[in-house]
């Protein structure tokens, strides 16, 4: 494995040098005002990235990963036996369901094909049928990292409102937040879950949660067992700018730098950059004569593309060869799509030029493995797209 090459896995993502340096800092006393000076701007920046109300709701940053964020979200707002409604359409939505079951929740699962997003219509019907309001929370995976499928969270909120249903809306935004538009307030999201190692371009180690005022209130009545992840303790300590235990100061300093970088580029520009890089990847896949896993353009993720292997070929072989021969990481297929796809991650600290190197590597691997793909075809299609759209950007800036 070469440390010179970028990674094209959908997390952890490439780390900008300034963020790596920000994480590497001398020990400070985490109970001193020096820590609050690092922590407060990090929290304020996360609020902007999540599209939160500047004055309402809470941001909580836990020493954990995205999965720990899921656990904190459910254990702090739900009680044993509570019913939750969730769709299963990929490995991450499935793992969230498994975690809820392990905590003794009654999960009502709506199955959808693994090329589809959250089935809004069926979710709306289930909510409308629940006239006694036994469903306490609706779970949605904004960006299914296993399939490269984006779900319509605004549409899900509309369906919940149309059904007049009061359930909390809990959203996994681990592989979208900071890379694709996310609007907690506009979408009426009660808890948004993110992790440090994807759009925030940091090492793994922080679970990042945004909570609506309703979610904060739900903590009081919730009885699922929790101790370390009891967010009420966190909120109490927050009042004094600190933690109830020792926080990972370097990572939080890195997060402050990350949100500064996103703000400097401008969130709209960050999202446009991700979209443009992703669109180049999709043009490359089309030029290869291959399909992406997502069933329709409206479902295309701008952070990860799952490329479907042609009949008789195994997607995992591309990933194995890219790592062993060229020192470039791609993502394997997970769960139901294991072997059927390989995944190209294109989020975080990435440029069009870096992306071309990833597409060229994938082409070399597919050629080596005898896939019916013309070497150079995908790179040429992406180059053409990047050349012409860069021109538009240059004109817009002039």
Stretch that binds ligand PLP, among 18-26, 63-71, 152-160, 319-327 (CB under 6 A): 63-71
Q: Is residue 67 close enough to count as binding ligand PLP by CB under 6 A?
A: yes
Shortest separation between residue 206's beta carbon and ligand PLP, angstroms = 9
Q: Is residue 117 close enough to count as binding ligand PLP by CB under 6 A?
A: no
Q: Is residue 14 close enough to count as binding ligand PLP by CB under 6 A?
A: no
Q: Is residue 148 close enough to count as binding ligand PLP by CB under 6 A?
A: no
Pick 10 or 188: Cβ nearer ligand PLP: 10
- Selected from 11, 45, 254, 333, the binder of ligand PLP by CB under 6 A is 11
Q: Is residue 331 close enough to count as binding ligand PLP by CB under 6 A?
A: no
Residues 172-211 that bind ligand PLP (CB under 6 A): 172, 174-175, 195, 204
Shortest separation between residue 104's beta carbon and ligand PLP, angstroms = 21
Stretch that binds ligand PLP, among 113-121, 170-178, 241-249, 290-298 (CB under 6 A): 170-178
Shortest separation between residue 117's beta carbon and ligand PLP, angstroms = 12
d(CA 162, CA 125) in angstroms, rounded, equals 10
Q: Is residue 141 close enough to count as binding ligand PLP by CB under 6 A?
A: yes
Pick 57 or 195: Cβ nearer ligand PLP: 195
Contact residues: ligand PLP, CB under 6 A: 11, 65-67, 92, 141, 143, 145, 172, 174-175, 195, 204
């Amino acid at each position: 494995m070469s440390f010179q090459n970028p990674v094209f896995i959908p997390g952890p993502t490439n780390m900008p040098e300034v963020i790596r340096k920000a994480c590497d800092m001398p020990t400070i006393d985490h109970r001193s005002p020096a820590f609050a000076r690092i922590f407060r701007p990090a929290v304020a920046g996360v609020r902007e990235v999540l599209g939160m109300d500047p004055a309402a709701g809470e941001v909580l940053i836990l020493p954990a990963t995205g999965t720990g964020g899921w656990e904190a979200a459910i254990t702090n707002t739900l009680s044993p036996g509570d019913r939750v409604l969730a769709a299963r359409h990929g490995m991450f939505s499935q793992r969230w369901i498994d975690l809820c079951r392990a905590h003794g929740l009654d999960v009502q699962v709506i199955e959808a094909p693994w090329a589809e997003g959250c089935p809004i219509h069926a979710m709306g019907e289930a909510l409308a049928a629940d006239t006694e309001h036994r469903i306490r929370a609706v779970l949605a995976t904004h960006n299914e990292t296993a399939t490269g499928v984006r779900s319509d969270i605004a549409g899900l909120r509309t369906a919940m409102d149309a059904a007049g249903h009061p359930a909390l809306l809990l959203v996994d935004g681990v592989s979208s937040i900071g890379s694709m538009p996310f609007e907690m307030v506009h979408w009426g999201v009660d808890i948004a879950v993110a992790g440090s190692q994807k759009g925030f371009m940091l090492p793994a180690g922080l679970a990042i949660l945004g909570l609506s005022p309703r979610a904060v209130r739900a903590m009081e009545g919730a009885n699922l067992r929790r101790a370390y992840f009891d967010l009420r303790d966190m909120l109490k300590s927050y009042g004094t700018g600190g933690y109830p235990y020792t926080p990972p100061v370097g990572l939080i300093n890195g997060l402050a730098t990350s949100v500064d970088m996103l703000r400097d580029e401008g969130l709209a520009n960050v999202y446009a950059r991700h979209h443009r890089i992703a669109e180049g990847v999709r043009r490359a896949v089309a030029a290869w004569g291959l399909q992406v896993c997502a069933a329709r353009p409206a479902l295309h993720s701008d952070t990860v593309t799952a490329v479907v292997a042609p009949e008789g070929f195994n997607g995992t072989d591309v990933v194995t060869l890219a790592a062993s021969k060229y020192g470039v990481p791609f993502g394997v297929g997970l769960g139901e799509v294991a072997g059927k796809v390989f995944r190209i991650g294109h989020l975080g600290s990435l440029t069009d030029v870096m992306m071309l190197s990833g597409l060229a590597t994938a082409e070399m691997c597919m050629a080596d493995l005898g896939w019916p793909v013309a070497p150079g075809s995908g790179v040429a299609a992406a180059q053409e797209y990047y050349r012409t759209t860069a021109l538009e950007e240059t004109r817009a800036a002039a």
